């Protein structure tokens, strides 16, 4: 176990998921984790994990050597103003806030503060996140710690900050895109005979299997698709119909639209 104390400021969907994943991982004891939010009801649920809860962000940040900010982009400036007094060159600031760059964070938090931008997804609660990590110039002594922390909650990749917007789209938004595929496939499954619950189980486990086929072999998806498509068969008939209706094109355009939203100048 590590002996650094960790504070999470803002424990909604993502901050809460990180708190849950962190406790499950055992990377630090729950008693070394502080969470802060303005909603008592949110804090009450997380208190059951054994973490300390705060409505005062500064108090929570003072207790920790690692401060993770997980508020909406339009709240980050106010929060960093509040906790600035608790940050120092010896501590670590981690922002999961999408669309707020390293320079802006340094301007708000202080240029001597070691800052990491980290982009996880909500599967972090199950320790199955894909988390992208980029760091500013002051972080060298802390990088192994931060990478190890997020490796305990899934897989990590280190990326240059320029790719952070793309990482947000592919990994963080990606959870929602994948779930929409599952929902649509389920709806088809119900129309051809399954009850909703069974359709969901069959689809979700099938997607998990498809994912493992790629992760365990490193194969290109088409190589595995070729193994399923009998000439003149059922699969290719369905796949071609999906493509005629714009399946791949709509996904690619959706990814690009999300990217345009987060990186509008590109
Ligand atoms: N959701 C996702 O999948 C991902 C989100 N992100 C990023 O994570 C950040 C958080 O997103 P998400 O978790 O979805 O948002 P949520 O709104 O679910 O969570 C933010 C939490 O912070 C609270 N909060 C707001 N202001 C303060 C404050 N001043 N002090 C303390 N707590 C405060 C909010 O309370 P209240 O509800 O009252 O506003 C809420 O509980 C965003 O910047 C987003 O871009 C990154 C990757 C994935
Ligand atoms: O939708 C959003 O804007 C945020 C960024 C990544 C996931 N949720």
* The pLDDT value given to residue 207: 98
* pTM across the whole model: 0.96
Identify the sign of the CA torsion 199, 205, 211, 214.
negative
Q: What is the pLDDT of residue 225?
A: 98
Q: What is the pLDDT of residue 150?
A: 98
139 touches ligand 2 (CB under 6 Å):
no
CATH topology of domain 6-159: Rossmann fold (3.40.50)
pLDDT digits (tens, 9 = 90+) for 25-49: 999 999 999 999 999 999 999 999 9
Residue 1 confidence (pLDDT): 59
Is 9 among the annotated ligand-binding positions?
yes
Contact status, residue 189 vs residue 199, Cβ threshold 8 Å: yes
- Is residue 13 marked as binding? yes
Nearest CA, atom 45, ligand 1: 98
Residue 165: its pLDDT value, please? 97
What is the rounded CA–CA span in Å between residue 131 and residue 171? 8
128: pLDDT confidence band, cut at 50, 70 and 90? Answer: very high
CATH for 168-262 is 1.10.3730.10
Q: In whole angstroms, what is the distance from residue 172 CA to residue 122 CA?
A: 7
Atom of ligand 2 nearest to the CA of 176: 7
**98 CA: nearest ligand 2 atom:** 5
pLDDT(266) > 60: no
Sign of the alpha-carbon dihedral angle for 161, 81, 83, 128: negative
> What's residue 138's pLDDT?
81
Selection from 123, 140, 145 nearest residue 68 by Cα: 145
Ligand nearest to C-alpha 99: 1
With a 6 A CB cut-off, is 80 part of the ligand 1 pocket?
no
Give the separation between CA 265 and CA 203, rounded to whole angstroms.
38
Region 114-123: mean pLDDT is 98
Which of 9, 15, 42, 72 for mutating ligand 1's site (highest number of atoms within 8 Å of CB)?
72
Cβ neighbour number for residue 158 with a 10 Å cutoff: 12
Instruction: Say if residue 10 carries a ligand binding annotation.
Output: yes
Residue nearest to atom 7 of ligand 1 (CA): 97
Shortest-distance atom of ligand 1 to CA 42: 41
Q: What pLDDT, in 10s, does the model give residues 229-258?
A: 999 999 999 999 999 999 999 999 999 999
Domain ranges of the chain: 6-159, 168-262
Q: Per-residue pLDDT for 264 more than 70?
A: no
Task: Compute the distance from residue 73 Cα to the ligand 1 centre, in Å.
Answer: 8
Q: CA torsion, points 77, 83, 88, 89, in degrees to nearest 10? A: -30
Whether the CB-CB separation of 233 and 239 falls below 8 Å is answered with no
Residue 68, C-beta contacts closer than 8 angstroms, at least 6 positions apart: 6, 7, 8, 9, 15, 18, 94, 95, 96, 118
Using most ligand atoms within 8 A of CB, pick from 70, 76, 120, 125 the residue to mutate for ligand 1: 70
The pLDDT assigned to 137 comes to 83
For residue range 157-192, list pLDDT tens digits in order. Answer: 999 999 999 999 999 999 999 999 999 999 999 999
- Do residues 38 and 72 touch, judged by C-beta distance below 8 A? no
Ligand 2 in reach of 173 Cβ (< 6 A): yes
């Amino acid at each position: 176990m590590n002996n650094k104390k960790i504070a999470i400021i803002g424990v909604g969907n993502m901050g809460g998921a990180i708190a849950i994943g962190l406790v499950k991982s055992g990377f630090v004891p729950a008693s070394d984790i502080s969470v802060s939010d303005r909603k008592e009801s949110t804090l009450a649920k997380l208190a059951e994990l054994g973490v300390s809860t705060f409505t005062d962000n500064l108090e929570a940040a003072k207790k920790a050597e690692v401060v993770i900010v997980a508020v909406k982009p339009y709240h980050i400036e106010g929060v960093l103003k509040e906790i600035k007094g608790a940050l120092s060159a010896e501590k670590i600031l981690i922002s999961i806030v999408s669309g707020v760059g390293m320079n802006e964070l340094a301007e708000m938090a202080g240029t001597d503060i070691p800052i990491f931008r980290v982009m996880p997804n909500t599967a972090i609660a199950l320790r199955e996140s894909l988390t992208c990590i980029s760091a500013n110039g002051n972080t060298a002594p802390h990088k192994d710690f931060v990478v190890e922390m997020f490796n305990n909650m899934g897989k990590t990749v280190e990326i240059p900050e320029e790719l952070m917007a793309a990482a947000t789209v592919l990994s963080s938004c990606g959870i929602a895109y994948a779930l929409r595929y599952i929902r649509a496939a389920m709806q088809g499954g119900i129309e051809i005979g399954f009850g909703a619950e069974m359709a969901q189980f069959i689809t979700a486990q099938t997607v998990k299997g498809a994912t493992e086929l790629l992760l365990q072999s490193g194969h290109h998806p088409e190589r595995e698709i070729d193994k399923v498509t009998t000439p003149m068969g059922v699969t290719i008939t369905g796949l071609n119909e999906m493509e005629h209706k714009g399946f791949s094109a709509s996904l690619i355009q959706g990814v690009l639209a999300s990217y345009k939203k987060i990186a509008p100048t590109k």
